[in-house]
């Protein structure tokens, strides 16, 4: 067997947080790929002050990976846990701008993961909230899956 590099669009380079803000937006079990990214950053002892994590669940008892979220918060990341059936269908431009303060700088990368409806609604809101992504579409990374 021969293994080359990690590939695809939904890959967080370890240097990304040094070059610009990284925003991880997920709903439900869509947090799983983000957790892998966060664990890698923790293992590499990267500074997480430019990392924002938003995890949306429909009910508080559906929250997962609390230990990882606590660790990245302690390492400097901003972590928002949102309990909302409405937001689980997708974050709005108003929420992104009001609660998170989007847009930031032109080096910000957004990683959106979850059910297809959450991903498409949230990506549309990200593009409205941060118009610089219209010309730099590669800054919005998606991972839509049913997973349920």
Looking at the 3D structure of the chain, how many domains does it have? 1
Q: At what angle do helices 31-43 and 66-74 cross, to 10 degrees?
A: 40
In a domain, 33, yes or no: yes
Residue 143's pLDDT is what?
A: 94
In a domain, 41, yes or no: yes
In a domain, 7, yes or no: no
CATH assignment of the domain containing 56: 3.40.50.80
Describe the chain by its helix, strand, coil percentages, rounded to 5. 45, 20, 35
In a domain, 90, yes or no: yes
Residue range 25-72, pLDDT digits in tens: 999 999 999 999 999 999 988 789 999 999 999 999 999 999 999 999
In a domain, 43, yes or no: yes
Residue range 93-120, pLDDT digits in tens: 999 998 888 877 888 999 999 999 999 9
pTM of the model: 0.90
In a domain, 107, yes or no: yes
Instruction: Please check whether residue 66 is in contact with residue 37, taking contact to mean a CB–CB distance below 8 angstroms.
Output: no
Domain that holds residue 44: 16-144
In a domain, 2, yes or no: no
């Amino acid at each position: 067997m021969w293994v080359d590099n990690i590939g695809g669009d939904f890959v967080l380079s370890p240097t990304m947080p040094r070059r610009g803000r990284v925003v991880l937006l997920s709903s439900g079990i869509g947090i799983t790929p983000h957790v892998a990214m966060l664990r890698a950053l923790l293992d590499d002892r990267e500074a997480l002050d430019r990392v924002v994590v938003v995890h949306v669940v429909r009910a508080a008892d559906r929250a997962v990976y609390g230990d990882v979220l606590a660790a990245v918060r302690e390492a400097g990341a901003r972590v928002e846990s949102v309990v909302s059936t409405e937001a689980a269908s997708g974050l709005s431009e108003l929420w992104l701008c009001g609660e998170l303060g989007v847009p930031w700088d032109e080096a910000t990368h957004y990683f959106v993961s979850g059910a297809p409806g959450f991903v498409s609604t949230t990506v549309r809101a990200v593009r409205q909230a941060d118009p610089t992504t219209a010309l730099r579409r590669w800054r919005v990374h998606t991972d839509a899956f049913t997973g349920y």
